[in-house]
Structures are given as structure tokens and as C-alpha cells.
């Protein structure tokens, strides 16, 4: 903990601006959420914490984009300081296509919460076009640019007057047009740029780029640690002081290596070729060698004291890079979560620290539907009647569609449904992660694209029991009465704190069940709050119609209380539209029009209710299972008893 010394005269001065100030809170965020990339690097360098970063290229197809985005989520969990996305002039990189560099980088920032660097090349581009790209990047929440010259089109490229002939021109342009807005990265060539007159000449160019306003350097790949260390020494010698990150390329296969060498005009050292040539047809052997070679080289680099972080050329693959990082001890198996949900990296959203619980399994959908908000709730949910949620449009469905192809979904959810009970079985199999009668595991549901979260696993037995009987659960959390914030399953937030939860359960169920449930819930007033709604929007609740209920909160040393998850009555009505729509969009449409299977799903969609329950008495064992039990008891009892 740092020691702050201030004196009171400063305090008195700061008081003067009171009249303009709103009492609304400006939360003090963790530096990790507010700092610019350059400052994060600075802090890591000062503290001696090594980092890593990951480079990806944009996918060629829409399914490829869906895959890459889930790869961002998986690789993001290892704790990269940033990722970067390359720029392919031939692929319409600045467009709104799902596969464009711009859109992929924007998705990484906004939906995956990753600090991201967008590459940008300038040759054969007009200033106007470049400025338009930068404006768009800024609008999308991107804060970092890797400024590159790019490869000229055609062999006979000549310098253009007034155009961009060097990356330096681009760096200057960014600084000139956008002042200090972007953090800028430039490329360094440990063996000199292939087109440079000499290694020394190339170093001078690099110095110019940095002097023009770049904040850090990422190098081209290399194969020997000493190549990079000499390069750093030479850079320092001519006065380049910014961070220089080595580009690490774990060899992943014979052909990709050959391809890369050709493009980059690099020479693979003899000692490597000697190992690889004999095993060139054994992919696994080459990858293992590549991992071992990268680990050895990285160890030398890190031990040198000259390397604050490692940059990985992933080639959009996971295994090799993750393995290298694991062996180096840099992969954060259990990254500390600042909040219980993934924080978006968009600069406008960084104050956000409250969300409705409903989108817990669909955070990207929540971000998409609230992307037009001008400000985000912090401290508390606020006046929930005001925000507009985005409509359920086709485009929005792109990022939100299941990762699994139709065939896989049919295998999991049934080629043919017999009746409502077939649906109950799908839910039950998802909970138990057992194989269904056709031998397939149910790995996802329309409301949950991933297997059960570890936290939900705590409730597995109870969930199985109720799903079997037609209480089709789509969201739940156990009550927590003050577990350490470091708890591996339910912990989040700064160290030394305590986290709390109220038990929550959300499910679809038939109108018969709802009638009994409402009867039972009277006994649980005011301990249990409920909202019950059908697809037409008829809503029955015992909660205040404007007051959100905080269901997750944390108490931390030296801070105000953080309450990141609420059950909010107004946004529940927006969620309801989405939750019901998923029955049709993701499930019913798998089947032919008019088919019995489709009609069963349609019937559930039209007739079932969506219910959420909160047990407010968080220090006691959750009573929600007893509520459901009581509902079934009432349903099973003779009719005269039911009229009580």
C-alpha cells in the first residue's frame, strides 16, 4: 500500500467547484480498468511483473469469426496484457463485415473485455481514408494502433509525394490528427527490415518512428535470443527508451514455418532446420519441438532483464502458445476477476459496475443491447425505467448464435421431440452432463452456450431434481454469506474482501405450476421476491416496480461497497423478450415448419411462464428449493386442499 501525503490547503481549493459538480459518483476504479496501455506497461515494468500479449489475424468466414471470438474468451482467461489484430488491406479491413480487422478488434474490446491493438497499414492509402479508419476505431472504443507501412502493391512501388511512404508518416499523422488519444506501437526488425539499406539504417528509421510519437515496439519474429538482445542493446545505444517487446513464434508445423519464412524473408537457423527436417511430416513432434524451443528462448529473454513482456504470434491457434505460457508460468490459471462478470474494455463502459443478473450467461448480448447507452450504471443500478435496450435484430443474432452447428444441436436437443417431457429431459441432461438416449452429451442450451459454471455446479443435485419435473432452469446462483474475495469459485474483486450473494433461481414452467407457485409464495413473504411473466408480458410480482434487488455484492478494504448484480424489474421485461425468443430462434427453427417437434417448442413458448425467485435471507440456507417442493406438494394434493 502506498503512503499518500497531502495537505489541507489543497483540499480547501478543490472545494470551490462544488456548484457545478453533481453528487453522482465518479467511482475510483482500479488502475487496471482505467490506465492506458502505456501506463499499464509502465506499472508492470516498475513492479517487475512480466506480461504476455497475443497476435491474431482476422478470419476469412463468418463461422471463423464465431470461433475466433470464443478463442478470445478462452485465451483472454489466461490474462494477456493485450491482444492485437492484423490489418489485411485486401480483406476490406475497415469495413463493418463480421470478418474485418476493425470488427474483430472491436469485438475483442467491447465483448471480450480485452485490451486490443488494431494494426493499420498506410501505403497506397489516402490521408482521408486513414483518418476515416482512425475515427471509426475511436468510435468503436479502440485506443491502441500498431502503425505499419504495409506491403506495397506490386513490385514497382515508388514513393508518393504527400502520401504515406513510411510508418513514421502514419505515426505523425495519428499524433497530428488525434493528439494523444491513441497509444501507438511500431514494428522493430531484430535483423533489420528486408528492404532497409542496412541494419544501422533500419535502426535509425525505428528511432524516427519512436521520436514521431510511438509508445512501444513489437519486433518481428526471430529464432535466437541473442538476436533480440543485441537489437535491444543497439536500440538503447541510439536513444530508444520505450518498451521493446520480442515477437515470439512457436514453430507449429513445417509448412507454416516455410510460409512465414518466405513472407518475412527471414532465415531459419541451421540448428533448427536440422531438427525439423527429419520430422517434417510429424506435426505433433514439430509442435512439441516448437514449444520446447520457444520456452528455452523465452527463458533466456526473461532472465536477461531486458524483456518486460513477450508477444506471441499465435497464427490463431491456441495449444502451442498456451503451453509455452504455462511452462513459463505466465498463464494465469485463475485470473482475479475485478467483478463477477467480464468487464468490457470500451473506454466509455469502464465505469460500469452494475448489471442485471438476467444476462449472466449472455454477456455479449447485454453489451450489444446496451451499446447505445451514453453512460453506464455504477455504484447502483439507478433509475431503471429510463434506459432503452436495443431490439432483437438479425445482426445482433450473429454474435449471439450458438457456437455449435445445427447438426450438433439436433444431436443434443433431439432430432425429434415427443412431448414436453422430451424437453425436460434435455434440460436435465444439460444439468447432469450425462449422455442422452442417443449417446450425446448436452453441452449447451439456447440460454447457456457453455457447460454449467463451477458455481452453478454447487446446485447440481437440486437443479436436476426440479428440471426433471418441468421446472426448466436457465439461471441460478447459490447464496453466499461472506466468502473471501479470493475464493476460487465465487470470489471476485480486490484481495482481502468478502463476497456475498442472495440465492437466485430463474426458470420456465407451465401455467399450472405457476398457479400453485403463486399460492405457495404467499407463505414466503417478504423473504422471497418473485417476478412471473409470460410471453405476452403479463407480469406478476411482489417486488417494488422500480426498485432493483442487489443479489451479489462485495465488501473490500478501504472502499465503498460494490454491488455488481441486481434483479431489476424493468430490465427483466426486456430480458423476457429475449429469453422467449431463444425458444423459437435457436430451438424451434431447427425443425421443419408444422413438424410435431416444432409445435412442442412453440407450445412451450406460447404457454409457459418465465419465473425468477430471490431469497432475501442470504445468511440462511436457500429456501427456494423448498418453495418448489411446496409447489409440487400442492399440485399433488387433492383438489379441496388446493383451494386453501
Residue window 357-386: x/- pattern of binding to its own copies, with contact defined by CB under 8 A: ---------------xxxxxxxxxxxx-xx
Asked if residue 219 lies in contact with residue 247, where contact means CB atoms within 8 angstroms, the answer is: yes
Residue 26 touches its own copies, criterion: CB under 8 A:
yes
Residue 24 touches its own copies, criterion: CB under 8 A:
yes
The grid coordinates of residue 311 equal: 508477444
Q: What are phi and psi of 23, to 5 degrees?
A: -80, -5
Q: Which of 173, 249, 178, 166 is nearest to 206 (CA)?
A: 166
User: Binder to its own copies among 23, 139, 155, 262 (CB under 8 A)?
Assistant: 23
* Catalytic entry in 55, 98, 115, 352: 55
SS3 assignment for 37-93: HHHHHHHHHHHCCCEEEEEECCCCCHHHHHHHHHHHHHHHCCCCCEEEECCCHHHCC
Asked if residue 170 lies in contact with residue 147, where contact means CB atoms within 8 angstroms, the answer is: yes
Kindly tell me the burial class for residue 230, based on how many C-beta atoms sit within 10 Å of its own C-beta (0-12, 13-18, 19 or more).
middle
User: Binder to its own copies among 563, 586, 612, 622 (CB under 8 A)?
Assistant: 563
User: Binder to its own copies among 527, 602, 629, 635 (CB under 8 A)?
Assistant: 527
| Positions 464 through 483 that interact with its own copies (CB under 8 A) | 481-482
DSSP string computed for 604-635 = HHHH-EEEEEEE--TTSPP-HHHHHHHHHHHH
Residue 407 bears catalytic tag: no
Asked if residue 50 lies in contact with residue 80, where contact means CB atoms within 8 angstroms, the answer is: no
Identity of the residue, 18 or 241, whose beta carbon is nearer to its own copies in the bound complex: 18
Beta bridge partners of 82: 53
Q: Closest separation between CB of residue 589 and its own copies, Å?
A: 23
Alpha-carbon distance 34 to 30, whole Å? 7
Q: How many residues bind its own copies (CB under 8 A)?
A: 88
User: Binder to its own copies among 171, 210, 245, 566 (CB under 8 A)?
Assistant: 566
Q: Closest separation between CB of residue 641 and its own copies, Å?
A: 23
Q: Closest separation between CB of residue 619 and its own copies, Å?
A: 6
Residue window 481-520: x/- pattern of binding to its own copies, with contact defined by CB under 8 A: xx------------xx-x-x--------------------
Alpha-carbon distance 423 to 412, whole Å? 11
Identity of the residue, 22 or 274, whose beta carbon is nearer to its own copies in the bound complex: 22
Instruction: Write the CA distances from 352 to 25, 97, 344, 378, 574, integer angstroms.
Output: 12, 28, 9, 5, 19
Residue 450 touches its own copies, criterion: CB under 8 A:
no
Q: Which of 310, 312, 314 is nearest to 300 (CA)?
A: 310
Q: Which of 209, 197, 126, 204 is nearest to 167 (CA)?
A: 209
Alpha-carbon distance 54 to 313, whole Å? 6
DSSP 336: P
Q: Closest separation between CB of residue 606 and its own copies, Å?
A: 15
Identity of the residue, 5 or 237, whose beta carbon is nearer to its own copies in the bound complex: 5
User: Binder to its own copies among 76, 113, 246, 548 (CB under 8 A)?
Assistant: 548
The grid coordinates of residue 218 equal: 513489437
| Positions 385 through 424 that interact with its own copies (CB under 8 A) | 385-389
Identity of the residue, 250 or 338, whose beta carbon is nearer to its own copies in the bound complex: 338
Residue 139 touches its own copies, criterion: CB under 8 A:
no
Q: Which of 332, 299, 346 is nearest to 108 (CA)?
A: 346
Asked if residue 404 lies in contact with residue 398, where contact means CB atoms within 8 angstroms, the answer is: no
Place of cell 443479489: 551
Identity of the residue, 243 or 390, whose beta carbon is nearer to its own copies in the bound complex: 390
Beta bridge partners of 145: 118, 184
| Positions 27 through 46 that interact with its own copies (CB under 8 A) | 27-28
Residue 562 preceded by cis peptide, ω within 30: no
Query: In this structure, what is the dihedral angle of CA atoms 158, 164, 166, 171, given to the nearest 10 degrees?
Result: 180
Q: Closest separation between CB of residue 140 and its own copies, Å?
A: 20
| Positions 200 through 259 that interact with its own copies (CB under 8 A) | none
Q: Closest separation between CB of residue 531 and its own copies, Å?
A: 10
Identity of the residue, 166 or 376, whose beta carbon is nearer to its own copies in the bound complex: 376
Identity of the residue, 17 or 198, whose beta carbon is nearer to its own copies in the bound complex: 17
Asked if residue 635 lies in contact with residue 512, where contact means CB atoms within 8 angstroms, the answer is: yes
| Positions 61 through 100 that interact with its own copies (CB under 8 A) | none
Residue 350 touches its own copies, criterion: CB under 8 A:
no
Q: Closest separation between CB of residue 533 and its own copies, Å?
A: 8
Identity of the residue, 148 or 551, whose beta carbon is nearer to its own copies in the bound complex: 551
Please choose, out of 48-56, 98-106, 416-424, 556-564, the segment that lies near its own copies by the rule CB under 8 A.
Answer: 556-564
Q: Closest separation between CB of residue 68 and its own copies, Å?
A: 32
User: Binder to its own copies among 195, 545, 606, 636 (CB under 8 A)?
Assistant: 545
Residue 291 touches its own copies, criterion: CB under 8 A:
no
Residue 6 touches its own copies, criterion: CB under 8 A:
yes
User: Binder to its own copies among 19, 155, 262, 437 (CB under 8 A)?
Assistant: 19
Judging by DSSP bridges, how do beta strands 498-501 and 549-555 pair with one another?
antiparallel
Alpha-carbon distance 589 to 601, whole Å? 9
Residue 558 touches its own copies, criterion: CB under 8 A:
yes
DSSP string computed for 552-612 = EEEE-TTS--EEEEEE-HHHHHHHHHHHHHHIIIIIGGGS-TT-HHHHHHHHHHHH-EEEE
User: Binder to its own copies among 15, 488, 638, 639 (CB under 8 A)?
Assistant: 15
Residue window 594-633: x/- pattern of binding to its own copies, with contact defined by CB under 8 A: --------------------x-xxxx--------------
Identity of the residue, 224 or 527, whose beta carbon is nearer to its own copies in the bound complex: 527
Q: Closest separation between CB of residue 387 and its own copies, Å?
A: 5
Q: Closest separation between CB of residue 559 and its own copies, Å?
A: 6
Q: Closest separation between CB of residue 497 and its own copies, Å?
A: 8
DSSP 445: B
Helix axes 199-211, 225-237, angle to 10 degrees: 60
Residue 47 touches its own copies, criterion: CB under 8 A:
no
User: Binder to its own copies among 292, 432, 542, 602 (CB under 8 A)?
Assistant: 542
Please choose, out of 263-271, 287-295, 400-408, 542-550, the segment that lies near its own copies by the rule CB under 8 A.
Answer: 542-550
Give the residue numbers marked as catalytic. 55
Amino acid at each position: 500500500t502506498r503512503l499518500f501525503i497531502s495537505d489541507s490547503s489543497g483540499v480547501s481549493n478543490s472545494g470551490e467547484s462544488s456548484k457545478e459538480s453533481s453528487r453522482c459518483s465518479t467511482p475510483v476504479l482500479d488502475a487496471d480498468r482505467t490506465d492506458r496501455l502505456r501506463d499499464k506497461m509502465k506499472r508492470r515494468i516498475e513492479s517487475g511483473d512480466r506480461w504476455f500479449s497475443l497476435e491474431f489475424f482476422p478470419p476469412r468466414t463468418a463461422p471463423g469469426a464465431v470461433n475466433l471470438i470464443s478463442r478470445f474468451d478462452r485465451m483472454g482467461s489466461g490474462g494477456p496484457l493485450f491482444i492485437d489484430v492484423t490489418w489485411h488491406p485486401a480483406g476490406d479491413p475497415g469495413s463493418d463485415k463480421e470478418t474485418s480487422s476493425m470488427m474483430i478488434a472491436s469485438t475483442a474490446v467491447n465483448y471480450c473485455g480485452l485490451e486490443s491493438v488494431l494494426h493499420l497499414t498506410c501505403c497506397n492509402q489516402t490521408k482521408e481514408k486513414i483518418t476515416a479508419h482512425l475515427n471509426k476505431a475511436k468510435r468503436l472504443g479502440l485506443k491502441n494502433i500498431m502503425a505499419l507501412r504495409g506491403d506495397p502493391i506490386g513490385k514497382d512501388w515508388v514513393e508518393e509525394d504527400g502520401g504515406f511512404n513510411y510508418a513514421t508518416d502514419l505515426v505523425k499523422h495519428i499524433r497530428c490528427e488525434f493528439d494523444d488519444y491513441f497509444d501507438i506501437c511500431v514494428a522493430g526488425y531484430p535483423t533489420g527490415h528486408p528492404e532497409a539499406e542496412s541494419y544501422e539504417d533500419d535502426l535509425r528509421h525505428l528511432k524516427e518512428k519512436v521520436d514521431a510519437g510511438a509508445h512501444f515496439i513489437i519486433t518481428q519474429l526471430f529464432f535466437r535470443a541473442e538476436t533480440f538482445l543485441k537489437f535491444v542493446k543497439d536500440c538503447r545505444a541510439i536513444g530508444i527508451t520505450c518498451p521493446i517487446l520480442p515477437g515470439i513464434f512457436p514453430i507449429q508445423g513445417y509448412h507454416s514455418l516455410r510460409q512465414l519464412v518466405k513472407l518475412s524473408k527471414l532465415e531459419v537457423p541451421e540448428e533448427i532446420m536440422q531438427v525439423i527436417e527429419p520430422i517434417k511430416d510429424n506435426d505433433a513432434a514439430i509442435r512439441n519441438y516448437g514449444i520446447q524451443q520457444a520456452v528455452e528462448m523465452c527463458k533466456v529473454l526473461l532472465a536477461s532483464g531486458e524483456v518486460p513482456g513477450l508477444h506471441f504470434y499465435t497464427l490463431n491457434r491456441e495449444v502451442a502458445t498456451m503451453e509455452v505460457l504455462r511452462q513459463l508460468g505466465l498463464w494465469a490459471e485463475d485470473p482475479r476477476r475485478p467483478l463477477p462478470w467480464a468487464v468490457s474494455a470500451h473506454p466509455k463502459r469502464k465505469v460500469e459496475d452494475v448489471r442485471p443478473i438476467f444476462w449472466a450467461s449472455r454477456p455479449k448480448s447485454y453489451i450489444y443491447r446496451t451499446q447505445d447507452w451514453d453512460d453506464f450504471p455504477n455504484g447502483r443500478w439507478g433509475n431503471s425505467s429510463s434506459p432503452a435496450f436495443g431490439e432483437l435484430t438479425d445482426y445482433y443474432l450473429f454474435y449471439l448464435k450458438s457456437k455449435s452447428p445445427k447438426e450438433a444441436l439436433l444431436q443434443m436437443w433431439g432430432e425429434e421431440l415427443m412431448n414436453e417431457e422430451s424437453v425436460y429431459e434435455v434440460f436435465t441432461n444439460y444439468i447432469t452432463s450425462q449422455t442422452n438416449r442417443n449417446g450425446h452429451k448436452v453441452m449447451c442450451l439456447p440460454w447457456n452456450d457453455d457447460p454449467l459454471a463451477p458455481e452453478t455446479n454447487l446446485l447440481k443435485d437440486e437443479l436436476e431434481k426440479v428440471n426433471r419435473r418441468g421446472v426448466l432452469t436457465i439461471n441460478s446462483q447459490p447464496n453466499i454469506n461472506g466468502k473471501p474475495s479470493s475464493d476460487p469459485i465465487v470470489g471476485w474483486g480486490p484481495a482481502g474482501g468478502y463476497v456475498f450473494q442472495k440465492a437466485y433461481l430463474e426458470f420456465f414452467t407451465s401455467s399450472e405450476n405457476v398457479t400453485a407457485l403463486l399460492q405457495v409464495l404467499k407463505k414466503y413473504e417478504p423473504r422471497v421476491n418473485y417476478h412471473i411473466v409470460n410471453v405476452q408480458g403479463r407480469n406478476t410480482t411482489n417486488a417494488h416496480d422500480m426498485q432493483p434487488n442487489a443479489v451479489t455484492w462485495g465488501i473490500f478494504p478501504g472502499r465503498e461497497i460494490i454491488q455488481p448484480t441486481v434483479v431489476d424489474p424493468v430490465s427483466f421485461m426486456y430480458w423476457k423478450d429475449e429469453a422467449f425468443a431463444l425458444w423459437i430462434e435457436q430451438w424451434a427453427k431447427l425443425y421443419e415448419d408444422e413438424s410435431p417437434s416444432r409445435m412442442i417448442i412453440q407450445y412451450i413458448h406460447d404457454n409457459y411462464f418465465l419465473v425468477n425467485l430471490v431469497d432475501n435471507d442470504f445468511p440462511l440456507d436457500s429456501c427456494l428449493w423448498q418453495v418448489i417442493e411446496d409447489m409440487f406438494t400442492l399440485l399433488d394434493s387433492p383438489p379441496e386442499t388446493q383451494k386453501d
